[in-house]
Structure 1
Amino acid sequence: MDRSYLDWPFLGAEHKALALAVDDWARAALPSIGDHDDVDASCRALVPALGEAGWLRYCVPQAYGGVHEVLDVRSLSIIRETLAYHSALADFAFAMQGLGSGAISSFGSEALKQDYLPAVCAGEKIAAFALSEPEAGSDAAALSASLAATSDGYVLNGEKTWISNGGIADFYCLFARTGVGSRGVTAVVVDAGAHGFSIAERIEVIAPHPLARLRFDDCVVPFDKRIGEEGEGFRIALATLDIFRTTVGAAALGFARRAFDEAGRHALNRRMFGGTLADLPLAQERLAEMALDIDAAALLVYRSAWTKDVKRQRVTREAAMAKLFATDQAQVVIDKAVQMFGGMGIAKGVKVEELYREVRALRIYEGASEVQKLIIAGQQLNVLREEL
C-alpha cells in the first residue's frame, strides 16, 4: 500500500507509527480470524482480538482506558483505512465500537462512562448505534420511536432498523422521541437483555454484516441510562456523526487502495497482445485516474480529521466533503479495478469482487451521498448569508 501520505503535514510521527503497527498486526492476525460464512461469529471473534491488540483503546477517552484524552479522528481514520485494506469485517468491528459508544464518550454521565467504556476498550462489550427507523433514515428528525417518562423510568416503544451489530451487540446507544421536533429527541442506552426488547428481523445484505431490525414493546429504560439531557438527543447524534463520518471516508480509502494494488499487480502479470496489460495505454490511463482519485480523497479525509483534532472545531462541512468524495470515488476506483480483471473480476473469491460489494454501503450509511450534498450546500450558503 502506498504510504507516502503518512508524511503529509496533517499527520504526526505517532500516526505514521500507528499505521505501520496496525498493518503489521493485520497481516499477521487477520488471516486466522478471517471473514467466515457466520459473520456473527466472526465479529464476536474480531472485537476481543482488536481489544487485546490495543486498537480499541483509540475508541474511548484516556480516562476509561483509551490512548487520547479525547477521541483522535486522525488515529481512528488511520486504523479504519488500514483495517479496510485487509478486511472489511475487521474495519466494521472496529468502527462500530467507536460509533456505538461515541455518544457515551462525549455526552454520557460519569456512571455511564465507567459502566460501558472500559468494556468497549477491552473488547468485552459489543456496541451499537441505533438511530435509523423504517420511516426515518436520511431524515433523522422524523423519528417516531417514543420514550415516555414514568415513575420507574422511560418506557420505550417503536422500532429501529438497519442497525449495525443488531443481534450481537451488548448495548445500543438509541435515539427516541420525548417531544416535538428536533429538540424533542433523547438519547439513552438500552442493554440487549432489557425486558420488552427483541430482534424483529435479521437483515441480509450484499456484503454480509450483522444487521437487524429492533423492536421495543413497553421496554423500560432507567433514567440513569439517559445520555445527556432530555431533548438533546438530536444534537448528540449529529455531534457523534461529526466525529465518525470522516472515518467512513477513511475506510473507503482503504478499499480503494486495495483495489488499486490488486489491479496494478494484475496488470503487471496479465499477458496479452505480446506484452502485459500494464503496457497498454488504456490500462495506464485507468491506473492514473485511480491514483488521482485516491490521493484527492485522502487529502479531504485527513484535512477533515486534522481540523477536528487540531482546531477543535465542528467539521460538519469538511466531514461531509470527505465522506462524499472518498466513498463515491472509491466506488469508481473499484469498478475500474473489476473492469481490468475482466471476467475474473466478478468471480466469487476474487478480492476486487468482494470490494465491489463491500464499498457500496458506504455511500448510504451515516448519511447518504445525497444528504452530504445538502449538508455541504447548507454550510456554504450559511457562509454566504453571513457575508451579506
Structure 2
Amino acid sequence: MTAFSLEPAQLAWCAELRTLAAERLHPLADKGEPGHVNRALVAELGSLGLLGRLFTSGALDLCLMRESLAYACTEAETALALQGLGAHPVHAYGTEAQRSRWLPLVTAGTAIAAFALSEPGAGSDAAALELKAEAETDASQAGRSSDAPAPTVDTSLTAAPDGPARWRLTGEKCWISNAPEADFYTVFARTTPGAGARGVTAFLVPADRPGLTGRGLDMLSPHPIGALDFDAVPVTADDVLGEADRGFRVAMGTLNLFRPSVGAFAVGMAQAALDATLAHTAGRDAFGGKLRDLQAVSHQVAEMALRTEAARLMVHAAASAYDAADLDVPRRSAMAKLLATETAQYVVDTAVQLHGARALQRGHLLEHLYREVRAPRIYEGASEVQRGIIAKELYARQEAR
C-alpha cells in the first residue's frame, strides 16, 4: 500500500463506518443537547468498538475513521476525536496504574476525557502557558482547603516526608473541548517558571479533585467547550504523565498524531458538501437548463473536487509518515492540517453559495457544516501556527545540508 491508494478492505471499512454513522450514530446525535457532552453517543461509539481502535490503530486508520464519521455525522466524529485527544497522553505516556484506571472506561465510552492545554493568554503559543504547579514543601498542606492561605512553595520538585512530590495547580484553562463535563483532564502546567517549553509538566487530573471547577462557553461549534478554574488543585507525582518538566513533549507528541486527523475530519466535511452540491446542481432548474450546465457552476464544482482530493492525499501521506516514524512528521502533519482545514472552509462556503438561501436555513446539512467547519482552522494550532511550523522545519532542513 502507498500513501496514494487504499486497499479494498480499507475502502469497505470506510463505507461501513459511513453507514454506521448515518444509521446508528446520527439519531443519537440528534437527541443530544448542543454545548453538552452526549454520553449516549459516546457510549454507542464504545459499544461499536470504535473508541478501542483509538489506541490499537495507526494514524492512517485514525484518519479513515474520522473522515468516514465526519461525512455522515460530525457529532460522532468529534466525540470520538475528543476521547482520543484527551486520553492519548495516558495511553502513550501514562503509568500502568493510570492506564488500567482510565483507558478501559474511555474505550467503553463511560468516562469522558479532555485535553487541557489552551489558556486565555496562551492559545497558539502553547509554551507560554501560565497555569502554575507550585511544589509543596510541607506534607501537612495536603489537606488545606481551597480558601486557605497559599501554601509554602519551592521552585524545585520536592517530595513530602511521607509521600511523592506534590504540587498545587492554580490558574485557568480556556476553550477546552468537553469541559466542564469531562471525567478527567490531561492538564499542562508550569512547574518551572521562566523555562518556556522546558518547564511544563503534564498531569492526569480527575474532575472531582478539590478546587477544580468549570463553566461552559457559548461557542459557534455545537460540541461542548468550556473553561476550567484551578484553585490550588492537589496533584502528586502519581498524576504526572511522562516526566516532570517534559510535558511539552507529551503535548507535541499528541498533536503530531492528531493534526493529520483534524485534516481528515475536514476532508469528510468537504466531501459531504461536495456530494450535496453535485446532487443539487444536477437537479436544480435554472436559466432554461440545469445548474450544472452553467460553466461558472461546473468549474466551481470541479475546483471543489480538486482541492478535496488534494487535501485527502496530503492527509494520507502525513498519516503514513507518522506510522512509519518518519522524522519529517511535524512538517507533514502541519501541512496536512493546514491544507485540509483551509480547503474544507472553501468547499463548504462554495457549496453554500451554489445552494443559495436554502443552505442557510437551520437544519440544512450545509448550515450545520458551515458552523462546524470554522473551528478546525483554529484549534490544535491555528493555520498561522501551521505555516510557522512548516517554515521552521524547512529552514532547519536547509541548514542541516
TM-score (norm 2): 0.89
Task: Output the amino acid matched with 2:13.
Answer: L
1:273 offset after TM fit, Å? 1.4
1:245 offset after TM fit, Å? 0.6
The within-5 A match list for 1:163-312 is: 163-179=176-192, 180-199=195-214, 201-311=215-325
Separation of aligned partners in 2, 1:344 and 1:7 = 41
Q: Given the alignment, which residue of 349, 367, 381 partners 1:367?
A: 381
- Aligned-residue identity in percent: 43
Q: Which stretch shifts more, 96-105 or 14-23?
A: 14-23
Separation of aligned partners in 1, 2:302 and 2:5 = 24
Question: Any conservation in 1 of the 2:37–2:224 contact (CA below 8 Å)?
Answer: no
Task: Output the amino acid matched with 1:349.
Answer: G
SS in 2 for 1:244: helix
Task: Output the amino acid matched with 1:255.
Answer: M
SS in 2 for 1:39: coil
The residue that corresponds to 1:99 in the other structure is: 85
Structure 1: 5+ residue runs without aligned partners?
A: 1-5, 61-67
Separation of aligned partners in 2, 1:37 and 1:52 = 18
CA deviations on 1:223-251 (whole Å, 9 max, x unpaired) are 21110110110111011100001100000
The residue that corresponds to 1:57 in the other structure is: 52
SS in 2 for 1:283: helix
- For the pair 1:72 / 2:58, whether they are aligned, the reply is yes
1:17 offset after TM fit, Å? 3.4
1:345 offset after TM fit, Å? 1.9
Question: Any conservation in 1 of the 2:359–2:366 contact (CA below 8 Å)?
Answer: yes
Aligned length: 372
CA RMSD of aligned residues (A): 1.6
1:313 offset after TM fit, Å? 4.3
Separation of aligned partners in 1, 2:374 and 2:220 = 9
SS in 2 for 1:136: coil
CA change 1:127–1:42 in 2 (3 A) is closer
CA change 1:41–1:129 in 2 (3 A) is closer
SS in 2 for 1:20: helix
CA deviations on 1:107-164 (whole Å, 9 max, x unpaired) are 1111111111111111111100000001000010111101122236221111000000
Separation of aligned partners in 2, 1:361 and 1:107 = 28
Separation of aligned partners in 2, 1:347 and 1:156 = 45
The residue that corresponds to 1:64 in the other structure is: none
Question: Any conservation in 1 of the 2:213–2:229 contact (CA below 8 Å)?
Answer: yes
Question: Any conservation in 1 of the 2:3–2:316 contact (CA below 8 Å)?
Answer: no
- For the pair 1:31 / 2:46, whether they are aligned, the reply is no
Task: Output the amino acid matched with 2:187.
Answer: L
Structure 2: 5+ residue runs without aligned partners?
A: 137-159
Separation of aligned partners in 1, 2:279 and 2:12 = 26
Question: Any conservation in 1 of the 2:267–2:312 contact (CA below 8 Å)?
Answer: yes
- For the pair 1:158 / 2:171, whether they are aligned, the reply is yes
Q: Which stretch shifts more, 22-31 or 213-222?
A: 22-31
CA deviations on 1:36-78 (whole Å, 9 max, x unpaired) are 4613566212110100011111112xxxxxxx3xx41111111
The residue that corresponds to 1:131 in the other structure is: 117
1:280 offset after TM fit, Å? 1.1
Question: Any conservation in 2 of the 1:177–1:184 contact (CA below 8 Å)?
Answer: yes
1:256 offset after TM fit, Å? 0.2
- For the pair 1:145 / 2:141, whether they are aligned, the reply is no
The residue that corresponds to 1:113 in the other structure is: 99
CA deviations on 1:150-193 (whole Å, 9 max, x unpaired) are 23622111100000000211000010000022110000011111
